[in-house]
Amino acid sequence: MTAMERTNLLLAKVLNLALTEGVSHWSLSFSDLSLSDDYATHFFPCVEWLEAEGLIRVGEYARTMGGIANGSIENISITSRGMAILGQKVEIDGTPEQLSSAIKKVSEGRVDYNRVLDALGGLLGGIIKSVSS
């Protein structure tokens, strides 16, 4: 799996949790994502990217010593922009689907994530740009 595929899977897992938690404050640690250590290097940068793009808000990054993904991210909440983007319809393999549904399936391992994740990063980037305009 490439670095970009790992990035996209981690983004999908974080966004799926954000959808599950809704507009509330919750914490996230790398172990909550049930991913191998190959994904650790992407943990904080992916959450920081989601925050910078305005999909989530973060109260605090509580990094600790002992590893690249040690610590937690506190008081996360999904934003209205995040909800709007995840509510968008996208086409995956010729089938229209709500982005939130595709993310949930990928996050839960119910679909071949290599096929979907190839499109996910571009879809997120494109939708973020279109919503920003």
The radius of gyration of the chain's CA atoms, rounded to the nearest angstrom, is 14
> Who contacts 104 (Cβ-Cβ below 8 Å, separation ≥6)?
16, 19
What per-residue confidence (pLDDT) applies to 2? 83
Q: What pLDDT, in 10s, does the model give residues 45-84? A: 999 999 998 999 999 999 998 889 999 999 999 999 888 8
* Domain definitions of the chain by residue range: 3-124
CA gap 62, 130 in Å, rounded: 32
pLDDT band at 132 (very low <50, low <70, confident <90, very high): low
What per-residue confidence (pLDDT) applies to 129? 57
Q: What pLDDT, in 10s, does the model give residues 97-113? A: 888 888 888 888 776 65
Mean pLDDT of 18-46: 93
CA gap 92, 27 in Å, rounded: 31
State the angle between helix axes of 3-21 and 99-107 in degrees (0 to 180), rounded to the nearest 10. Answer: 110
Mean pLDDT of 82-101: 82
What per-residue confidence (pLDDT) applies to 118? 55
What per-residue confidence (pLDDT) applies to 87? 87
Q: Which CATH class is domain 3-124?
A: mainly alpha
